[in-house]
Amino acid sequence: MEVIYGLIPGMLLLGLVAVGVLFWAARSGQFDDLDGDAHRILMDDDLEVRDPRRFPDADDQDAEDSSETRDPKV
């Protein structure tokens, strides 16, 4: 029964922190665009954008490599 004297102030403090975080998020604009992500995930982006640093243009090398590795019997 004595533990409740520590739990009640702890829960009140935790509740106040949660309300403070909610107000901070509302003021900083976290809830401004609730539908944007829902619509953006449905958009069909057919264009594939590649970073040239990660994907160097190796079309010529692929053609040369594939011709060398082909089995002449096939």
Given a contact cutoff of 8 angstroms between Cβ atoms, the answer to whether 51 and 57 are in contact is: no
For the cut 70, the answer to whether the pLDDT of residue 44 exceeds it is: no
Given a contact cutoff of 8 angstroms between Cβ atoms, the answer to whether 31 and 25 are in contact is: yes
Which of the two residues, 13 and 70, has the higher pLDDT score?
13
Q: How far apart are CA 15 and CA 18, in angstroms?
A: 5
For the cut 60, the answer to whether the pLDDT of residue 64 exceeds it is: no
For the cut 90, the answer to whether the pLDDT of residue 9 exceeds it is: yes
Which of the two residues, 10 and 51, has the higher pLDDT score?
10
Tell me the mean pLDDT in the region 25-47.
79
pLDDT at 37: 76
